[in-house]
Structure 1
Amino acid sequence: MTAAVESEAPAEVLPGLYDIDAELYHSDPIPGGSLSSSGARKLATECPAKFKYWSEHPQPVKKEFELGTAAHTLILGDGPELVVVDAEKWTTNAVKAEVAAIRAEGKTPLKPSDLKRVTEMVAALRADPDAAPFLEPGSGVAEQSAFWEDHGIWRRARFDWLRHDGQLVDYKTTKSANPSDLPKVIHDWGYHQQQEYYLDAGLALDLVDPEKPFQFVLQEKEPPYLVVVTTCDPVARGIGRHLNDRALNTFALCRASGEWPGYLEAPLTALPAWVERQYA
């Protein structure tokens, strides 16, 4: 299965898969607005007012995420340009200015040691017998943007890796890929929502093979850069779908009314349950 890809955002709104840059995707090229996977995760866990502010005030990429971004770029062969800053300490004004200029251009600055680190991460992933086949160069296309309409709401998603055989694969860097830690990782980052959101996109646009499960490839950022391949179980998927549905319903209601309310009233507030147990 091979995706049909357009190279520009649509002149008029048409569902499809587009090979557009990340900046255009994140700016939301759909007239009237659309809901992204990240937006659905935000709207499912935050009040509408905070989601509205977040959507209108894009945050720059956090410095602590740059290593993961660099690994992502090297592994998928697509992403921000990597620029090595010839200094291990970014403390002088000159180096700080150089780093700031690189970030302002949408590129990723790296220390020489960090470039060595991400290169070693790529080598570790390519050597992993379970993970390597899913992200094999030439087996798919990276960073494709999907736009589709769902009951009057436009939705969007940006795939890490859409394989030519119709399987979706998402690469993540993480502090721990230990299977015992994965339930918390999946929950904290909303990956169960992301999995179902991306599958909705793939199925709506006939891009994925429903018999091929979505796969997360998670890699630790510390040596020996261990890798684990996983997918959410049926219960996690069901919760993800429920949260996505709630986000979509909230988005539709708020957009129709033009009101994005804050927190619900809290006239009475209890102490934490663990405190109450001490006095039970």
Structure 2
Amino acid sequence: MTAAEVEAPAEVEPGVYDNVASEVYHADPVPDGSLSSTGARKLATECPAAFKHWVDHPEPYKSAFDFGTAAHKVVLGDGPELVLVDRDRWDTNEVKEQIRKIRAAGNIPLKQRDLDKVNAMAEALRAHPEAAALLEPGSGIAERTIIWNDRGVWRRIRIDWARHDGTLVDYKSCRSANPSKLPNHIADYGYHQQQEYYRDGALEFGLTELVCPFKFIFQEKEPPYLVSVIELDSTACGIGRHLNERALNTYALCRAADDWPGYVQTPLVSLPPRVEREYR
């Protein structure tokens, strides 16, 4: 089942919801629409017209998403069921139909090598003292969905792991968990903005406090599946909050006017500073 095939409920109340299916969350359970962390990141860095097109034309589901979803399932213990399709070829009509039925049931089809890989990743994570302690079974609740109204704007988030001590944890599978490369990776994907967006929702319902940490667990997708656990500094947090506020304001104004403009035109354009420096 895809997000596009899920109907939104007739109404929704602000609150913390557990056991919300991923496809229901991504289809947006708020009847009149809500702003997710992903949407806020897009709206803060792109023009409103591009954001509106993205909302109105959801990206088709790609099989490449399966691995990340499967890793979350094995690591966090929550999510769609993983179904082994132990066939050498997936391009036959028989296997295509089997895969279609698996997806229609809301589950994830996996090849044996991918299933082995996500299990190996989970084992490597459990061997990492800090990551294992953060995700210790019973220490929190996985995939908590929070929906709330902020100054007239409906917002929604889905927290990977909300610990009972108030710590929020987000798990990312990635190409490199090298701490020296993570700053650029975090900036490129807007994880500083995601963190503060999630923190807003958790604070709204008392799931965390400002003094509680937000931890990112990055894990590489290739052996030996190395792990890094990091926190963002105060400057990164401040930038994330500023970008979220800008996105919320833009979203509210565009919705009120039902106008989603494109790029602000700049008639006079300069060359990049690096080019100008070469000619000094």
1:119 maps to amino acid: N
State the secondary structure of the residue aligned to 1:218. Answer: strand
Q: Within the alignment, does 1:176 sit opposite 2:176 as a pair? A: yes
Q: Within the alignment, does 1:211 sit opposite 2:208 as a pair? A: no
Matches within 5 A, 1:131-280: 131-280=131-280
**Residue equivalent to 2:25:** 25
TM-superposition CA deviations, 1:13-69 (whole Å, max 9, x none): 432101222222222222322211111011011111111111122223433332221
Kindly tell me the number of residue pairs found equivalent between the two proteins. Answer: 272
Counterpart CA distance in 1 for 2:13 and 2:140 is 23
Tell me whether 110-119 or 206-215 shows the greater mean CA deviation: 206-215
Q: Within the alignment, does 1:73 sit opposite 2:73 as a pair? A: yes
Counterpart CA distance in 1 for 2:217 and 2:15 is 25
Question: Offset of 1:138 from its aligned partner?
Answer: 1.8
State the secondary structure of the residue aligned to 1:176. Answer: coil
Tell me whether 74-83 or 266-275 shows the greater mean CA deviation: 266-275
Asked if 1 retains the 8 angstrom alpha-carbon contact of 2:9 and 2:31, the reply is no
State the secondary structure of the residue aligned to 2:90. Answer: coil
1:238 maps to amino acid: G
Q: Percent identity?
A: 62
Counterpart CA distance in 2 for 1:169 and 1:185 is 18
Gaps of 5+ in 1: 1-8
**Residue equivalent to 2:50:** 50
**Residue equivalent to 1:3:** none
Gaps of 5+ in 2: 1-7
Counterpart CA distance in 2 for 1:98 and 1:199 is 40
Pair 54,105 (structure 1): closer, same or farther in 2 beyond 3 Å: farther
Asked if 1 retains the 8 angstrom alpha-carbon contact of 2:141 and 2:161, the reply is yes
State the secondary structure of the residue aligned to 2:54. Answer: helix
State the secondary structure of the residue aligned to 1:136. Answer: coil
Counterpart CA distance in 2 for 1:124 and 1:164 is 24
Pair 213,266 (structure 1): closer, same or farther in 2 beyond 3 Å: same
Counterpart CA distance in 2 for 1:269 and 1:103 is 49
Counterpart CA distance in 2 for 1:89 and 1:268 is 55
Tell me whether 247-256 or 270-279 shows the greater mean CA deviation: 270-279
State the secondary structure of the residue aligned to 1:131. Answer: helix
State the secondary structure of the residue aligned to 1:158. Answer: strand
2:236 maps to amino acid: A
Question: Offset of 1:162 from its aligned partner?
Answer: 1.1
Pair 274,104 (structure 1): closer, same or farther in 2 beyond 3 Å: farther
**Residue equivalent to 1:107:** 107
TM-superposition CA deviations, 1:157-202 (whole Å, max 9, x none): 1111111222211111011111001101111111100110111111
- TM-score normalised by structure 2 residue count: 0.90
Counterpart CA distance in 1 for 2:184 and 2:246 is 21
2:21 maps to amino acid: D
1:257 maps to amino acid: A
- TM-score normalised by structure 1 residue count: 0.90
Counterpart CA distance in 1 for 2:25 and 2:35 is 11
TM-superposition CA deviations, 1:196-248 (whole Å, max 9, x none): 01111111111113332011111110111111111111010010001000000
Tell me whether 231-240 or 142-151 shows the greater mean CA deviation: 142-151
TM-superposition CA deviations, 1:112-161 (whole Å, max 9, x none): 01111111000011111110011112211111110112112111111111
Tell me whether 170-179 or 53-62 shows the greater mean CA deviation: 53-62
1:72 maps to amino acid: H
Tell me whether 161-170 or 39-48 shows the greater mean CA deviation: 161-170
Q: Within the alignment, does 1:86 sit opposite 2:86 as a pair? A: yes
2:149 maps to amino acid: E
Counterpart CA distance in 1 for 2:128 and 2:78 is 21
Matches within 5 A, 1:27-42: 27-42=27-42
Pair 271,103 (structure 1): closer, same or farther in 2 beyond 3 Å: farther
Asked if 2 retains the 8 angstrom alpha-carbon contact of 1:73 and 1:80, the reply is yes
RMSD: 2.0
